[in-house]
């Protein structure tokens, strides 16, 4: 599927997960790596699958899998919380755009984007997936 999807929809989160899986395959996660990440919208709406807007990523022995939607109180090794409007702004800016880094820093300073935990080896994967997500977001 290569079409553009509305940001924040169930199909959009599925696409985000697919882009992260593609990036992980290119960068090859280390064997033995086990960690989990949740990205959840602070002001999340409920998705059609009964979960809130967000994505859960689990890495088990270097293999990455994802689930679209997260529970309101679900936890993980890394928890990323972001407002819907902030996610929208960031998902329309390519990583090479100087406004992207400024928007990211401003969101953190205002508390619109919070990260607890260490992304470690997944940080480059999420960075690599970002522009593919932008290309497919409306």
C-beta of residue 52 within 8 angstroms of C-beta of residue 44: yes
- Spans of the chain, pLDDT less than 70: 1-2
The confidence score (pLDDT) of residue 64 equals 95
The confidence score (pLDDT) of residue 6 equals 95
Provide the edge-to-edge strand list for the sheet that holds 63-70: 63-70, 52-60, 34-41, 78-82, 113-116
The CATH number of 10-135 is 3.30.1050
Burial class (CB in 10 A: 0-12, 13-18, 19+), 96: exposed
pTM: 0.92
The confidence score (pLDDT) of residue 2 equals 64
| Among 9, 20, 1, CA closest to 133 | 20
Burial class (CB in 10 A: 0-12, 13-18, 19+), 4: exposed
The confidence score (pLDDT) of residue 89 equals 96
């Amino acid at each position: 599927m290569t079409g553009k999807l509305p940001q924040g929809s169930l199909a959009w989160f599925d696409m985000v997960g697919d882009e992260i899986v593609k990036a992980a395959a290119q960068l090859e996660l280390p064997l033995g790596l086990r960690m989990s990440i949740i990205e959840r919208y602070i002001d999340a709406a409920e998705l059609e699958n009964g979960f809130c807007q967000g994505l859960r990523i689990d890495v088990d022995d270097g293999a990455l899998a994802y689930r679209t939607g997260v529970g309101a109180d679900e936890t993980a090794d890394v928890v990323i919380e972001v407002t819907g409007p902030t996610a929208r702004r960031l998902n329309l800016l390519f990583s090479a755009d100087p406004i992207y880094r400024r928007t990211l820093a401003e969101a953190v300073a205002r508390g619109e984007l919070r990260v607890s935990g260490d992304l470690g080896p997944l940080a480059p994967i999420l960075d690599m997936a970002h522009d593919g997500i932008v290309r497919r977001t409306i």
